[in-house]
Amino acid sequence: MRFTGKTAVVTGAASGIGRATALRFAREGAQVIAGDIDETGGAALVAEAEAQGRIRFQRTDVTAEADIVALLAAADGPDILFNNAGAGGQRGRIDEIDAVGWDATMALLLRSVALGIRHAAPLMAARGGGAIVNTASIAATMSGAAPTAYSTAKAGVLHLTKMAAADLARSNIRVNAVLPGFIVTNIFTATLGLTGAVRDQANAAIATVAAGSQPVRRPGRPEDIAAAVAFLASEEDAGFVTGTHILVDGGMSVGPRHSW
């Protein structure tokens, strides 16, 4: 119950990593304000946590600044912000991109995080401090994990995390990032437009591929990321941790599993 008496705002909370983290915060005592464009998934999240009554959902498009401001206002004084919403972004190599797709990717994955921090900062400062965690990616530090626009935006999130940590330390606000490796969520099937049973089948196939993609031979789960986010958000556990990141990738970044 590390978060009793705390209010946590989570974006991209209707699915995957955001959903698991919202549930984890609620389970550990926080009041959670969950934002997402997916209202059906948001309602399902609230229903799952109904017994605790600690999750509220508000439709939020993180590419719209006014929506971010409204989500934070709904928290009525946030202690924790998890900037997590995202999707695959523009596909292709650098010689295949276009300005419209590039801008949309940056707005979704990078500007949203900057604006989340920007608008949370004065609210947290007024409360005497807070903790912000941003979802970057293993793709922020290596080329083979995702397309160019997505990877560049996530590298931006990583450096933004350091800048914001330095900017906001005077207000007692810690800012850190989590870098997921290959985590089985709907992010892969969403880009293909799959839903329902077909999506579940595809996710099961992806889980098999994921399990073989790194030295730790099991699929990465949203709960693996939620645990790291909870650590970084906890004043008790990570009160002296700011401007850094945790890579949660089953060892993917160190290379394939040895056969010797």
* Residues labelled catalytic: 150
Q: Which is nearer to ligand NAD, 108 or 124 (CB)?
A: 108
Count of beta carbons in the 10 Å neighbourhood of residue 51: 8
Q: Does 156 bind ligand NAD (CB under 6 A)?
A: no
Please give the structure tokens belonging to residue 118: 């920007």
Contact with ligand NAD (CB under 6 A) among 37, 45, 120, 177: 37
- The DSSP code for 3 is T
Contact with ligand NAD (CB under 6 A) among 190, 207, 216, 241: 190
Contact with ligand NAD (CB under 6 A) among 21, 38, 90, 252: 38
Query: What ranges make up the beta strands (E) of the chain?
Result: 7-11, 31-36, 55-59, 80-83, 130-135, 173-180, 245-248
Q: Does 187 bind ligand NAD (CB under 6 A)?
A: yes
In the block, tokens 């940590």 appear at 165
In three-state secondary structure terms, 220 is strand
* DSSP result, 77-92: S-SEEEE------S-S
Q: Torsion angle of alpha carbons 99, 103, 109, 112, nearest 10°?
A: 180
Query: What ranges make up the beta strands (E) of 19-104?
Result: 31-36, 55-59, 80-83
Q: Does 60 bind ligand NAD (CB under 6 A)?
A: yes
Contact with ligand NAD (CB under 6 A) among 78, 86, 130, 250: 86
Q: Does 16 bind ligand NAD (CB under 6 A)?
A: yes
* Residue 170: partners with Cβ closer than 8 Å, 6 or more residues away: none
Q: Which is nearer to ligand NAD, 126 or 205 (CB)?
A: 205
Site size toward ligand NAD, by CB under 6 A: 29
| Binding segment (CB under 6 A) for ligand NAD, from list 2-10, 50-58, 183-191, 234-242 | 183-191
Count of beta carbons in the 10 Å neighbourhood of residue 13: 33
| Binding segment (CB under 6 A) for ligand NAD, from list 24-32, 159-167, 181-189, 238-246 | 181-189
| Binding segment (CB under 6 A) for ligand NAD, from list 24-32, 124-132, 165-173, 185-193 | 185-193
Q: Which is nearer to ligand NAD, 62 or 235 (CB)?
A: 62
Please provide residue 221's backbone torsions phi and psi, each rounded to the nearest 5 degrees. Answer: -115, 150
- Among residues 142, 42, 124, the alpha carbon closest in space to that of 80 is found at 124
Residues lying near ligand NAD in the complex (CB under 6 A): 11-12, 14-18, 36-38, 41, 60-63, 84-87, 108, 135, 137, 180, 182-183, 185-187, 190
